[in-house]
Amino acid sequence: MKKVEDYVRSIPDFPEPGIIFRDVTSILQDADGLHLAIDQLVEMLDGVDYDVVVGPESRGFIFGVPVAYAMHKSFVPVRKKGKLPCETISAEYDLEYGSAEIEMHKDAIKPGQKVVIVDDLIATGGTTEAIIRLIEELGGEVVKICFVMELAGLKGREKLKGYEVGSVITYEGK
Parallel, antiparallel or unpaired: strands 52-56 and 114-122: parallel
Residues in the chain: 174
Which amino acids are annotated catalytic?
59, 96
Strand locations in 26-82 (E): 52-56, 74-80
The span from the CA of 13 to the CA of 112, in Å, is 45
Which run of H or E residues covers position 103? strand 99-105
Distance CA 139, CA 71 (A): 22
Nearest one of 174, 131, 167 to 147, comparing CA atoms: 167
Check if the beta carbon of residue 123 is closer than 8 Å to that of residue 148.
Answer: no
Cβ neighbors of 110 (< 8 A, separation 6 or more) are 138, 139, 140
